[in-house]
Structure 1
Amino acid sequence: MSVIIIIFLTAVVALFSGVFEQGKWARYIGIAGLLVAFYVSFLPEHQFFAQYKSMFDFSQTAALFTKISIVVTLLLFFLGGFAFSNHRSHQSELYTLMLFSLIGGIILFSYQNLVTLFLGIEILSIPLYVMAGARKTDLRATEASMKYFLMGAFATGFLLFGVALIYGSAASFDLYTIQAFGVANSTNLMFVMGCVLMLTALAFKVSLAPFHMWSPDVYQGSPSLITTFMMTVVKISGFVALFRLMTIAFYGVFSEWINILGVLVIITLLLANFMGLAQSNAKRMLAYSSVSHAGYIALIFFGINNLSTYNLAFYLFAYSLASVGVMMCLIYVEKIKRECSFKAFNGLAKTEPILAVTASISLLSMAGIPLTAGFVGKFSLFAQAMDALPILVVIAVIGSAISIAYYLRLIIAMFFYEESSFNTTEKVSLTYNIVAVFIIAAIITLGVYPDLFAYQFGL
């Protein structure tokens, strides 16, 4: 709760800083507030907040995911100076909305009650609808905002209908009371239907196929830094919320929903990776890549054991680092070339080698190549799921093999094609190079010595 209060106050100050010099101080205020929040996340919660434990419990697990989300958001704020240079008139609002959305994510890490779950999802989502349409003169941005809003409202309807059925059967919003009811009444039709509806709603949020239809258009139409936020912090929040809901509240009806989730995983892995092959736009390809990673992450529900939470956290952190690494390269290319086709990346390695290397290592990590954090993350999830349903792991390996093809297209474009149109005076800033070096070091270090992740986050 202390972390939420700090981030909220930071967001308010950042918002009102827009009165001065077009909000140029909002980014620095946000970075300072996030650093303070990151420090506080290592401290035990104040006793005063114990009275809210029935609704919100900032446990060690919640603190872990909070730290990960804050680190990723910090990286995005460092990139914001260049990425938001076309939004100078309202950049303070964009930073503020990102902070408010982060608060919603932190609530989803700690909710103990279905009411808190609903509040967390809405606090996370509503700022995103606004940020997706930040480029007011761009029709794609308007389409992205409207599509995200309409699909989000549709998913919220499923969620609330499911909550109503769960409350009607279990007579409680508390996760553990619902769990006890499910264990004793696993064949209760109203309860099972509520479970399926809530699973469907959260499948929309994390973009599991066939509920992913909004993702490619929204990711492509939104400002690239906001797209990165959706690919990382929003996906982390959605999956943690889904994991807590299904493994705590609906543990008693595990056999009723696990097969449905298995079908969604198969559809996601095959559809997203084949669609990724067909793309000519790098940003849209990365959108389908994000959908495919939702399928890999969902393997966490199969063969659940004591290490499942740690495996989930490691994979989400590794994937988020790789996403930031690729998208920071895309942000630069999009700014220079005004497009995101694969051809736009031709010859990037000759003019911005650090950026190209960062994107390449990030793509290799996404593909699960050894000596990267992505390989360790995928191996952990695959090893866990192998004990429960080997066929899913086989399909996941096939999906990973397919993904290498479209990841390599981008790497080949950057390193092996001649291109002269990068002759520009607008070079990558020192901040971008520092973030790039950090991402390269983190991906390789965690790939070689994954235990460092547990050490760094106080586990």
Structure 2
Amino acid sequence: MSVFIVLFITAVLALFAGVFEQGKYSRYIGIAGLLVALYVSYLPDCEFFAAYKTMFDYSTNAALFTKISIVTTLLIFFIGGFAFSNHRSHQSELYALMLISLSGGVVLFGYQNLVTLFIGIEILSIPLYVMAGSNKTDLRSTEASMKYFLMGAFATGFLLFGVALVYGSAGSFDLYQISSFAINNPKNLMLVVGSILMLSAMAFKVSLAPFHMWSPDVYQGAPSLITAFMATVVKIAGFFAFLKLMTIAFGGIVGEWINIVGVLLIVTLLLANVMGLVQTNAKRMLAYSSVSHAGYVTLIFFGMNSLSPYNLAFYLFAYSLSTVGVFMALIWVEKVKRETSFNAFNGLGKRHPLLAIAAAVSMISMAGIPLTAGFMAKFSLFNQAIKGGFEFLVLIAVFGSALSIAYYLRLIIAMFFYKESTFNTSEKVSITYNIVAVVIIFAIISLGVYPDLFVKQFGL
């Protein structure tokens, strides 16, 4: 809860910087606040909040996911100066909204009952509806905001209906009391229906097919930096909340919902990777890539063991690093050429080699090529599922990974093997972008070669 307070105060300060026409300082305020929050995340939670442990508990797992979310947000803030160069009039609001959304993620990492879950989801989601439509001169951004809001409202309806049924059967909002009721009443129809409705709502939040239909349009229409935030921090928060809900509250009726999750996994991996192959727009391709990675992450439900939270955190962190690495290049190309087609990336490797290398290494990691963090992340999930006896699901995931290599390679080939002379701009890549590119390349390769570094850095 201490981290939540730090982040919320930082969001207010960033917002008021815009009120006093000092919006250009909002990013620096945000970065400073995030660094303080990262420091606080390593400390035990204040004893004052012990009275609220039935609502929010800053456990070891909550601390782990809080740390990786803050680090990812820091990277996004570092590249935000150039990305928001055409949002000078309201960039303070965008930084503040990202911080508020991150605060919602922190609530989701420590929630202990269904009321806190709902509050966390809404704090996380409502700023996203606004940010998705923040590019007021682009009709696609307005469409993205409206589509995301409407679909989000339907998902919230499913969630609340499920909460009502679960409370009606178990008589409590507490996760552990619901778990106890589920163990003693595994065939209670109201509880089972409620769990499935809540599963559907969470599947929407993490964009599992067929609940993904909003994702490509919203990801393409939203400003690129906001898309990067949605594909990383929002996914981290959503998946941890999803895992915690289904394994703690509904662990006693796992047989009633695990097959549904398996079907969603298979449909997601096949549909997303096939659709990724036929895209001609890099941003839309990355949207389907994000959906496919939701499928890989869903393997965490199969063969659960004591290392599962660590495996989930490692995968989501590796994926987030790669996503930021690719979006750095995409943001630059979009600014220079005002489009994000594959052809727009032609010659980027010659013009801005460090940016292109960071994007290439990131996509290689996303594809799960050895000696990258993405490979070790996928290997840990695949190994867990195989030990649990779910070899068929792993085969589907391997097939999906093979398909993904094709569309990642298309972008890599465009950057390094096609000549293009239309990068005629006097604006050079900033020192900040170069530093972040080096950090991402180093982190992806280091975690791929020595994954225990993740454990040491995040204090497990």
Deviations 1:62-117 (CA, angstroms, capped at 9, x unpaired):
00000000000000110110000000000000000000000000100000000000
1:30 maps onto 2:25 in alignment: no
1:59-74 map, 5 Å = 59-74=59-74
1:257-336 map, 5 Å = 257-336=257-336
Deviations 1:388-414 (CA, angstroms, capped at 9, x unpaired):
311000000000000000000000000
- The more displaced of 20-29 and 352-361 is 20-29
Offset at 1:426? 1.1
- The more displaced of 386-395 and 142-151 is 386-395
Residue type of the alignment partner of 2:446: T
Structure 1 equivalent of residue 357 of structure 2: 357
Structure 1 equivalent of residue 407 of structure 2: 406
Distance in 2 (CA, whole Å) between partners of 1:295 and 1:75 is: 25
> Given that residues 243 and 301 in structure 1 are in contact (C-alpha distance below 8 angstroms), is that contact kept between their aligned partners in structure 2?
yes
Offset at 1:45? 1.0
Secondary structure in 1 aligned to 2:57? coil
Structure 1 equivalent of residue 436 of structure 2: 435
Structure 1 equivalent of residue 118 of structure 2: 118
TM-score, length-normalised on structure 1?
1.00
Structure 2 equivalent of residue 382 of structure 1: 382
- The more displaced of 33-42 and 381-390 is 381-390
1:156 maps onto 2:165 in alignment: no
Distance in 2 (CA, whole Å) between partners of 1:32 and 1:127 is: 21
Structure 1 equivalent of residue 449 of structure 2: 448
Deviations 1:310-349 (CA, angstroms, capped at 9, x unpaired):
0000000000000000001100000000000000000001
Structure 1 equivalent of residue 255 of structure 2: 255
Distance in 1 (CA, whole Å) between partners of 2:328 and 2:372 is: 19
Deviations 1:1-49 (CA, angstroms, capped at 9, x unpaired):
1101011101001100003345011000000000000001001111111
Structure 1 equivalent of residue 232 of structure 2: 232
Structure 2 equivalent of residue 338 of structure 1: 338
> Given that residues 22 and 90 in structure 1 are in contact (C-alpha distance below 8 angstroms), is that contact kept between their aligned partners in structure 2?
no
Distance in 1 (CA, whole Å) between partners of 2:166 and 2:434 is: 50
Offset at 1:254? 0.4
Secondary structure in 1 aligned to 2:33? helix
Number of residue equivalences: 459
Distance in 1 (CA, whole Å) between partners of 2:65 and 2:360 is: 26
Distance in 1 (CA, whole Å) between partners of 2:56 and 2:113 is: 8
Deviations 1:329-379 (CA, angstroms, capped at 9, x unpaired):
100000000000000000001110000000000000000000000000000
Give the ranges of 4+ consecutive aligned residues of structure 1 lying more than 2 Å apart after TM superposition: 19-22
> Given that residues 30 and 95 in structure 1 are in contact (C-alpha distance below 8 angstroms), is that contact kept between their aligned partners in structure 2?
yes
Secondary structure in 2 aligned to 1:432? helix
1:48-127 map, 5 Å = 48-127=48-127
> Given that residues 22 and 88 in structure 1 are in contact (C-alpha distance below 8 angstroms), is that contact kept between their aligned partners in structure 2?
no
TM-score, length-normalised on structure 2?
0.99
Distance in 1 (CA, whole Å) between partners of 2:359 and 2:338 is: 19
1:176-255 map, 5 Å = 176-255=176-255
Deviations 1:160-202 (CA, angstroms, capped at 9, x unpaired):
0000000000000000000000000000000000000000000
> Given that residues 103 and 124 in structure 1 are in contact (C-alpha distance below 8 angstroms), is that contact kept between their aligned partners in structure 2?
yes
Deviations 1:268-314 (CA, angstroms, capped at 9, x unpaired):
00000000001000000000000000000000000000110100000
Structure 2 equivalent of residue 395 of structure 1: 396
Distance in 1 (CA, whole Å) between partners of 2:21 and 2:166 is: 50
Structure 2 equivalent of residue 132 of structure 1: 132
Unaligned runs of 5+ in 2: none
Residue type of the alignment partner of 1:300: I
Distance in 2 (CA, whole Å) between partners of 1:193 and 1:22 is: 51
Secondary structure in 2 aligned to 1:88? coil
Distance in 1 (CA, whole Å) between partners of 2:106 and 2:384 is: 26
Secondary structure in 1 aligned to 2:79? helix
Distance in 2 (CA, whole Å) between partners of 1:427 and 1:335 is: 12
Unaligned runs of 5+ in 1: none
1:419 maps onto 2:428 in alignment: no
Deviations 1:404-433 (CA, angstroms, capped at 9, x unpaired):
000000000000000001121111100000
Distance in 2 (CA, whole Å) between partners of 1:21 and 1:251 is: 51
Residue type of the alignment partner of 2:357: V
Identity %: 76
Secondary structure in 1 aligned to 2:218? helix
Residue type of the alignment partner of 1:88: R
Structure 1 equivalent of residue 19 of structure 2: 19
Secondary structure in 2 aligned to 1:89? coil
RMSD: 0.5
Secondary structure in 2 aligned to 1:248? helix
